[in-house]
Amino acid sequence: MTLLKSWIETANDPESPFPLNNLPFGVFSHKGSAPCCCTAIGDKVLDLGGMQRAGLLKPLGLTEPALNEFMEKGPQAWSGLRATLFGFLGAGSEAAGMVAPHLYPMDEVEMHMPFRVAEFTDFYAGRNHAFNVGTMFRGPENALPPNWLHIPIGYNGRASTVVVSGTDITRPVGQTKAPDADAPSFGPSKRLDIELEMGAVIGQPSTMGRPITVAEADAMIFGYVLLNDWSARDLQAWEYQPLGPFQAKAFATSISPWVVSRAALEPFRRPTPPREKELLPYLTESGPMLYDIDLSVSLLPKGRRTPTTICRTNYTEMYYSAAQQLTHHASSGCAMRVGDLLGSGTISGPEKDSYGSLLELTWGGKEPLEMVDGEERRFIEDGDTLTLHGHAQGNGYRIGFGDCTGTIRPAPSFP
C-alpha cells in the first residue's frame, strides 16, 4: 500500500505519523471542552464527537469520554467509520467545508486516557528478554523456565494505575532486602526501570466458560498502543517468589494516547518466529499475527535538553503474538471484556542496544549507560523523562502511535 492522499496537506508528509492511512482513535479536549472521541490526521485532531452531534456521523458512542462504547459496536462499526472518514478526509472530498470546523491544531488540545481499562494483564512473551533476565538470575542453562516455550506466561496487573502519556510517575516505595541484610527495609525504590512493550486493546468480549481460537482472538483486538510497564526491580527481587510481581509493577503503567487500529496495521503483518517446541493446537495461528513496528526508547535527564536513544528494536522480536496471548488467557474459560489491555512483555532484540529495559541494558546495573551529555545511568533517577517511540514504515508513509512519555517524581515522604 502507498500513501493515501488527503486535502489536509500535513497528512501527506511522508514522515507524518498520522497520514490518512492511519486514523488512530483517542480522546481529547480543547480549551476546557468536555472530553470526547477523536482521530488524528496530519497535525490536526478531528473531533468525532462534534461530528456525531452535527449529524455527520452515525450514533456510535463518539461523544463519550472513552472509546469503550464505540468498541462495543464491533468490527463492522469500526470498519464503517474508517471508510466514512476516508470519504471525508481524502483528497478531492466535497465534504471538506463541513469537516473543517471540527479540526483543531494538535498542539492546542489535551489528550486523555483513550479508553477505560477493564483489566490489565502483562505477559512475559519476548524470548530475548526472558533469556537475558533468566541468565542473570539462573544462568544460561536454566534461563527459560520449563513452560516458557509452550505457553505465553503472564500475570494479572492493575487497571487502576494505567495512565496516558504525559502523566508524571511517582517513584514507588516498598520493601526491599539487601543481599547482606538480615531483614528487609522500607523506602523508595533505588532500581527503577522501564519495559518497552506494545499493548493490545480488546474491543469485543468473550463468554465465561468458552475458549476462543487464535483467529477469533485476533478479530477481538480493536487496536494497539505503546506501553511502558514501569518496574521497581529491587521491590520485585524481594517479593516475586512464589507468586510473581506485585507492588513492583502495580504503581504505574503508561500508554500512548492513540489506539492504532488493526486495519491500519494490516499491511505490516509478519509471522511469529520458528518454534523451538511445537505448540499445542489451540495456539496455532491461522496467519501472520505480529507486526513490523520499529520501536525505540529515549532518556532525558532532568535539566538537560538532548535526550539519549538507549534502545532500538522491533515488535517482530516477540515469540508469541497478542492473539496467542489472548487465546491462552481465555483458554481456561476466563471471560475477556471490552477495554481489557494486554501488555506484550518486554520487546528486546538480540543485541545489547536493542534491549528493552535498563535491567538488560546495564546488565543488572553492572554496566552503566552513558548519556550524550556525559551522565551515566544504571537505573532511572528522579527527574528523568523516559519516552517510547514507535511507527510502522510503509511505502512513502508511516503509521505512528504518538509518544509514550513519563517523568519520574521523587518518592513521597513516609514515616
Cell 520485585: give the residue: 236
Angle at 339 between CA 385 and CA 402, to 5 degrees: 35
Q: What sign does the dihedral 2-267-225-390 (CA atoms) show?
A: negative
**Cα within 13 Å of Cα(280), Cβ side:** 11
Q: What are the residues facing 232 on neighbouring strands?
A: 192
Three cell numbers written together for 231: 518496574
Catalytic residue among 102, 112, 129, 329: 129
Instruction: Please tell me whether residue 129 adopts helix, strand or coil conformation.
Output: helix
Q: Which of 261, 287, 220, 227 is nearest to 74 (CA)?
A: 220
Q: Which of 315, 311, 310, 307 is nearest to 290 (CA)?
A: 315
Does the annotation mark 150 as catalytic? no
Q: Are strands 253-255 and 44-47 parallel, antiparallel or unpaired?
A: unpaired
* Amino acid at the residue 367: E
Q: Distance between CA atoms of 206 and 163, rounded to whole angstroms?
A: 25
* Catalytic residue IDs: 129
